[in-house]
Amino acid sequence: GEYVTVQLGPKAFDELLKPYDKEMTDIIHKYDGIAHYHNHGPVTRFLEDFLDLDIDVLSPLEAPPCGDIDLAVAKEKIGDQVCLMGNVDDMMVLGFATEEEAKQIARNCIESAGTNGFILGGTDSGTYNETAARNFIAMVEVAKEFQE
């Protein structure tokens, strides 16, 4: 998806992305799978378009500088129909943040997106340093504060 959303823009969505990715999610659902759609970059203008793909989860919902997602806006636009995941940059932010900074980022994310239909996470990169790993652990402590 990001080749269309980041490089080609809205005009290409319906022609080059939608028919193929919708077919893919239909196949996933046919076999009772969960369609986890991964799309980097600035995607706010495509949020409603993603609904046409019938996806179940959208990630990584990057905040600036790599993306443009405000979780409260994303939640308002599609949050009841798609599980939102991410919004924390694991390499450029968590890799250099203090534990307290990481905890505040986690609190801000959860307060913006809520506890229903949101998975606090990174960019799904799987490439990060020890500081980021420790900060992910600290973020779990924050998530536990919001358990009902």
**What mean pLDDT do residues 10-20 have?**
94
C-alpha span between 63 and 70 (Å, rounded): 7
pTM for this prediction: 0.91
Peptide linkage before 65 cis (omega within 30 of 0): yes
Q: Retrieve residue 65's tokens.
A: 């500088």
3-state helix, strand, coil in the chain (%, to 5): 50, 10, 40
Is pLDDT of 91 > 90? no
C-alpha span between 71 and 143 (Å, rounded): 16
Look over the chain and give the mean of its residue pLDDT values, rounded to a whole number. Answer: 94
- pLDDT of 126 reads 77
What is the per-residue pLDDT across 50-75, written as a single tens digit (0 to 9) for each?
999 999 999 999 998 889 999 999 99
CB atoms within 10 A of CB 110: 19
Residue 22's pLDDT band, with cuts at 50, 70 and 90, is very high
